[in-house]
Amino acid sequence: MSVIYVLLAISLVVAIIFFAAFIFSVRQGQYDDAYTPSVRMLFEDELVKPKNKKVESEE
């Protein structure tokens, strides 16, 4: 039974370490996307198709 307590304590410590590493990387800007906005204008927008053709023919 004491092994379960040891494993639980170790898993909590590892989880806290990973959470701290995640918070540190977010604050340092690791997940900021500086590439996508610069190339977004190179992609063509998709054409929007009308949902209802009956409305177009009546107009």
The mean pLDDT of 14-42, rounded to a whole number, is 89
- What pLDDT is recorded for position 33? 81
pLDDT at 9 over 70: yes
| Greater pLDDT, 34 or 23 | 23
In the chain, the amino acid numbered 33 is: D
- What pLDDT is recorded for position 17? 98
Phi, psi of 44 (to 5 degrees): -80, 145
List the domain range (segments joined by +) for residue 13.
2-58
Burial 14-53 (b: 16+ CB within 10 A, else e): eeeeeeeeeeeeeeeeeeeeeeeeeeeeeeeeeeeeeeee
- Number of domains making up the chain: 1
| Calpha distance 50→59 (Å, rounded) | 13
Q: What is the pTM of this model?
A: 0.56
The pLDDT tens digits for 38-55 are 787 777 766 667 676 665
Place of tokens 């690791």: 30
